Amino acid sequence: MRKPFRVPSPAASRIWFALLTVLAVTLSGCASAGRGSSRGAAPDETLQVRIRATSMSFTDLPTAVIHARGYFAQVGLKATFEPGVSNASLVTQGVISGDSDVGVSGTSAIYNAYAEGATGLVSLGTTNRSLTFGLALNRKTVDALARRGVTPDSPVKDRVQALRGLSLAASPAGSTGNAYLRIMLSEHGVKPDTDVTIIPNNDAAAQIAATRQGRANGFAQSFPRTNLPEAEGWGALWLNWAEDLPSLLPLASQDYYTTRSWLAEHPDTAKRVMQAVWLAHRDLQNPTGELRDAVRKLPEFADMNKAAFDKGWALAVGAYKGVTPLTTRQMFDNELKLVNYNRDAPMRIDFDDVYDLSAAKAAQPR
């Protein structure tokens, strides 16, 4: 027979409450000890940080420079870095869950997560305020358009309108890359849902293969992937967003971010992370051939066609001229415009909701 539930006496309740309080404090202390605190760390003390990022490309060239130069170690960080995460939302989720301390991805992931209730997220600053993004077409398509009088050197409006009737591979609906493509088309009178066929595919290699094999006329991706067709002789770069879509610039394209609680507990670590970003931006103000070659030796680029890498590099480095990690309100406004393009109901957030530039400002070279 089931025993009736007995309400504990007040004395017993106080004992249980005290025990639970001690347990909670103990567990909290263990968690804090496990993750460490950088508050008041000595200048020569090495601090640990766990960073996850999406696949390395020229959209976040500063992070590539950081790794090529070893800047995390140089500023006193022992960084566990995990690049190649397939989706920006997975990077964001890792920061929210505490599986990583800092995330690096397209900024739209932070804004969307904040709008969905993850208000503890905060950006430390921006690595890219431009669009190092392109559309490449295969040779058969380029030749067909040339017979109609449109070439890669034609005015941007003519090149965009010539895309009517074509199939274009891009990242799935709701992604930043998909929005880039749709906004470019719309600005020049091409309806994305009826005038072209957008083939959604989150696999960059599959997009390239489909275009090369003729199952798609072109693909939209970051540099240097969209430089491959020209370098390998089977296509050409058709659109360059950094030059051909000025209405969205400048914007907060790629950010470093964490949680407000981690930032409050680890200000010195956050400062050192942003010191590394400042160093990378410094190098990109006067990009040398030696720097280019150092980045190309990274595992993510080592097997890439050298001519494609060099073409992509030449186009991308110009986008970083004058760039610093200090996000501006104009960059925020343009990024928010981009994010709201994909939403049924526009989100309403303010700059201070998602940015805390204290670490970036503290790291700024004097």
Q: 5 in a domain, yes or no?
A: no
pTM for the structure as a whole: 0.85
Among 248, 266, 288, identify where a domain stops: 248
The pLDDT, as a whole number, for residue 174 is 83
| CA–CA separation, 271 and 16 (whole Å) | 42
**Would you give the distance in Å from CA 28 to the centre of its chain?**
32
Which residues make Cβ contacts (< 8 Å) with residue 44, sequence separation at least 6?
Answer: 76
Check whether 17 has a pLDDT greater than 70.
no
Residue range 282-324, pLDDT digits in tens? 999 999 999 999 999 999 999 999 999 999 999 999 999 999 9
- pLDDT band for position 343 (cuts 50, 70, 90): confident
**Same-domain check for residues 164 and 180:** yes
The pLDDT, as a whole number, for residue 5 is 31
- pLDDT band for position 155 (cuts 50, 70, 90): very high
Domain that holds residue 177: 133-248
- Give the chain's domain count: 2
Q: Nearest-CA neighbor of 103 among 205, 238, 256?
A: 256
Helix residue spans in the chain (DSSP H): 10-35, 61-69, 71-74, 88-97, 108-115, 139-147, 156-161, 176-187, 204-212, 228-232, 241-244, 260-265, 267-285, 289-296, 306-317, 329-341, 351-354, 358-363
**Same-domain check for residues 239 and 266:** no
Check whether 262 has a pLDDT greater than 70.
yes
Q: Residue 126: which CATH number? A: 3.40.190.10
Token pair in block for residue 198: 């957008």
The pLDDT, as a whole number, for residue 245 is 95
**Same-domain check for residues 138 and 242:** yes
**Same-domain check for residues 225 and 211:** yes
Residue range 26-48, pLDDT digits in tens? 333 444 434 456 677 777 899 99
The pLDDT, as a whole number, for residue 39 is 74
Reduced to 3 states (helix: H, G, I; strand: E, B; else coil), residue 129 is: coil
Q: What are phi and psi of 268, to 5 degrees?
A: -70, -40
The pLDDT, as a whole number, for residue 176 is 87
**Same-domain check for residues 241 and 268:** no
**3-state SS string over 148-203?**
CCCCCCCCHHHHHHCCCCCEEEECCCCCHHHHHHHHHHHHCCCCCCCCCEEEECCC
Among 207, 232, 248, identify where a domain stops: 248
Check whether 14 has a pLDDT greater than 60.
no
Residue range 84-104, pLDDT digits in tens? 898 899 999 999 999 999 999
Which residues make Cβ contacts (< 8 Å) with residue 63, sequence separation at least 6?
Answer: 53, 56, 83, 104, 127, 280
| CA–CA separation, 106 and 254 (whole Å) | 4
Q: 165 in a domain, yes or no?
A: yes
**Same-domain check for residues 297 and 340:** yes
Q: 20 in a domain, yes or no?
A: no
The pLDDT, as a whole number, for residue 29 is 41
Token pair in block for residue 130: 């431009």
Reduced to 3 states (helix: H, G, I; strand: E, B; else coil), residue 26 is: helix
**Same-domain check for residues 176 and 105:** no
Q: 13 in a domain, yes or no?
A: no
Check whether 20 has a pLDDT greater than 50.
no
**Same-domain check for residues 78 and 161:** no
Q: Nearest-CA neighbor of 200 among 222, 224, 178, 227?
A: 178
**Same-domain check for residues 309 and 175:** no
Q: Summarize the confidence of residues 200-210 as an average pLDDT.
A: 94
Q: Are 135 and 71 in contact (CB under 8 A)?
A: no
Among 248, 273, 294, identify where a domain stops: 248
Q: Summarize the confidence of residues 153-163 as an average pLDDT.
A: 98
Q: What are phi and psi of 123, to 5 degrees?
A: -85, 140
Q: 35 in a domain, yes or no?
A: no
| CA–CA separation, 323 and 218 (whole Å) | 30
**Same-domain check for residues 235 and 315:** no
Which residues make Cβ contacts (< 8 Å) with residue 362, sequence separation at least 6?
Answer: 267, 271, 274
Q: 10 in a domain, yes or no?
A: no
The pLDDT, as a whole number, for residue 58 is 94
Check whether 339 has a pLDDT greater than 60.
yes
**Same-domain check for residues 137 and 239:** yes
Q: 102 in a domain, yes or no?
A: yes
Q: Are 186 and 194 in contact (CB under 8 A)?
A: no
The pLDDT, as a whole number, for residue 225 is 95
Residue range 223-241, pLDDT digits in tens? 999 999 999 999 999 999 9
Q: Nearest-CA neighbor of 316 among 152, 127, 173, 46?
A: 127
Q: 36 in a domain, yes or no?
A: no
Check whether 8 has a pLDDT greater than 80.
no
Check whether 140 has a pLDDT greater than 80.
yes
61-69 helix and 267-285 helix, angle to the nearest 10 degrees: 100
**Same-domain check for residues 126 and 137:** no
